[in-house]
Amino acid sequence: MLSTKPLFSWPRHRAERRPAPFLPMSRAEMDRLGWDACDIVLVTGDAYVDHPSFGMAIIGRLLEAQGFRVGIIAQPDWQSAEPFKALGRPRVFFGVTGGNMDSMVNRYTADRRLRHDDAYTAGGEGGKRPDRCTLVYAQRCREAFKDVPIILGGIEASLRRIAHYDYWSDKVRRSVLADAKADLLLYGNAERAVVEVAHRLAAGEAPRDLDDIRGVALFRRVPETTTELHADDLDAADEGARQVRGDVVIRLPSCEQVEQDKEAYARASRVLHRESNPGNARPLVQRHGDRDLWLNPPPVPLTTEEMDAVYGLPYARAPHPAYGDAKIPAWDMIKFSVTIMRGCFGGCTFCSITEHEGRVIQSRSEGSILQEIERIRDRTPGFTGVISDIGGPTANMYRMACKDPNIEASCRKPSCVFPDICPNLNTSHDDLIRLYRKVREVKGVKKVMVASGVRYDLAVTSPDYIQELVSHHVGGYLKIAPEHTERGPLDKMMKPGIGAYDRFKEMFDAAAKKAGKQYFLIPYFIAAHPGTTDEDMMNLALWLKKNRYRADQVQTFLPSPMATATAMYHSGVNPLRGVRRGASERVAAITGLRQRRLHKAFLRYHDPDNWPLLREALKEMGRSDLIGSRPDQLVPAHQPPGTGKAAGTKRPVRPGAAGGKTQRFTTKGVRFR
């Protein structure tokens, strides 16, 4: 087991212990607190909501608990450096984050179209943060106070910590640390790293001296005493995996290599994901021009006691008063929900959770969770007795872990559940069932919903869990994510076959019948994922029609930075298998606009506006037999007047089939937290 300094064992930086009602956002608030200056100023792309679902609130309150005076600059005007001077010069450092979402994902759709709203902004207003705001904010901080250290963190920095493919510019970009000209980058859940960085900088150390902290990326030289394993040699088969004694660093293909050589990009992605287990990961180094970018191994996961302490900090559990009565959609969505765990060992290649939070599940205690529910009941205006969600990245991985800590520490597999559930994984849902029952017993709680996605291949191992879920925690519909029906794309996603979904649906329906309920599953699917053929999408559409599903909205695959599926999309190579010059497995990437539209149209086979495109494609595929009015055919041969490409306008959603038995659902394929 990894040993590390306990999170709350550092001596306090200041003796004062009275927490601020809200972390100050103005000089007037600092004056009321009696502060002449802030030790740390956190700059965020989100509105400031003092709640543990918002990253800056967690980091801010944690640093406050360490004895630092912490201020917040939320969504500043980035056109000049002046707004970044609002709280004065911080004594220790600027902390910069894009917010709870990558700013490019927040601002653009999978079709690169501009979004006009922002759930993390007061009033839901779009345009309150710049593109790649971590980079922009850091540069403005440097202009404001050029001698103050700048520390990057949050999901935007975490997913851009090495040279990465940027979907929106369609090119490989340098590490955000290089472009932002910051001093350090903290990746993953950074509580341990940020606390140590703060204390050591406050004690007089320079940022370049903090090269021994886990979860830190910085530019530094490789020590002469360190052995380099060259994963940048694509003619070698070991990919830098060789085990040697002493201090070791793995050299990734350089930024310049991955810019010019897509196979080198796939190799870098494969090695980075292999070296992601805190128990055995080794440092990585990647050349950027004439400098080496050094990534230390991932942070040690928080213990249950540390998780409890983090979620028990004195959050105001509300937006800052500066926003007045303005609605912040993200806050409205989560204010009655409870996070019970972090991390995900699923390893889905299109998802960013594992890259950011890691695959080791970090769970809170029952007592901590019950106390938070009581705080919601007692302190959150508008609470009617309904907990809107109890979960996390997934609904049902609470307290799941490898049966043997030694095996867990040495494992390099990217997923614990693909291609099958690992026999070393404890899949018991007993702790979660017990938690559900205790939460329902809290005075004033009428209903507890499960809105987080249920990992159905785990759920089928526990019929008692499915019965508990259906009997008490579903409100008409339950979200589920098979993502596809065909083995080709599912293998590239690292998702189970559709048979696991079928088993779950059978058990779900039986549990609903036993409980006397009429509930429905809402399946999510992805269009245009790497490795998906036109025939795969056609077969998925036929499955949807056979099962009477109609998707009102669909999601096309969005290549997020650093995801394994993004490496497939950009390189055309499968990094789940060995990457070697001339011997790599090729993957078809759906990059053309027409093909991406076609795959999306297959998911909306029932929309007459899509019928001309589908008829044309089916004829090209030699499947004209699927054009007609029979139940086993996909699209009609005749086009209703006013529909299709000539219509020029979007038609309203058509009602369901006769008898109202056709289900309509919303599907989304990419999740960012």
Q: Which of 123, 129, 88 is nearest to 107 (CA)?
A: 129
* pLDDT in the model for residue 645: 65
Task: Identify whether the C-beta of residue 268 lies closer than 8 Å to the C-beta of residue 163.
Answer: yes
Percent of the chain with pLDDT over 90: 89
Domains identified in the chain and CATH numbers: 1-210 (3.40.50), 219-298 (no CATH)
* pLDDT in the model for residue 451: 93
* pLDDT in the model for residue 296: 98
**In which element (H, E) is residue 201 found?**
helix 191-202
* Binding site, annotated residues: 344, 348, 351
Task: Identify whether the C-beta of residue 68 lies closer than 8 Å to the C-beta of residue 202.
Answer: yes
* pLDDT in the model for residue 55: 96
Distance separating alpha carbons of residues 448 and 466, to the nearest angstrom: 15
* pLDDT in the model for residue 1: 56
* pLDDT in the model for residue 644: 87
Task: Identify whether the C-beta of residue 206 lies closer than 8 Å to the C-beta of residue 93.
Answer: no
User: Helix, strand, or coil here: 389?
Assistant: strand
* Binding site, annotated residues for [4Fe-4S] cluster: 344, 348, 351
* pLDDT in the model for residue 475: 87
> Exposed, middle or buried by CB within 10 Å (0-12, 13-18, 19+), for 646?
exposed
Q: Which of 266, 259, 245 is nearest to 289 (CA)?
A: 259
Length of the chain measured in residues: 673
In the chain (673 residues long), the average pLDDT of successive 10-residue segments reads 87 93 98 97 98 97 98 98 98 97 94 94 96 97 98 97 97 98 96 98 98 97 96 92 92 98 97 96 98 97 98 98 97 97 96 90 98 97 97 96 95 95 97 98 97 95 97 91 96 96 97 93 94 98 94 87 97 96 94 94 95 97 96 94 63 38 41 33
* pLDDT in the model for residue 354: 85
Distance separating alpha carbons of residues 528 and 445, to the nearest angstrom: 42
**How far is the CA of 68 from the CAs of 5, 8, 71, 90, 640, in angstroms?**
19, 13, 10, 11, 67
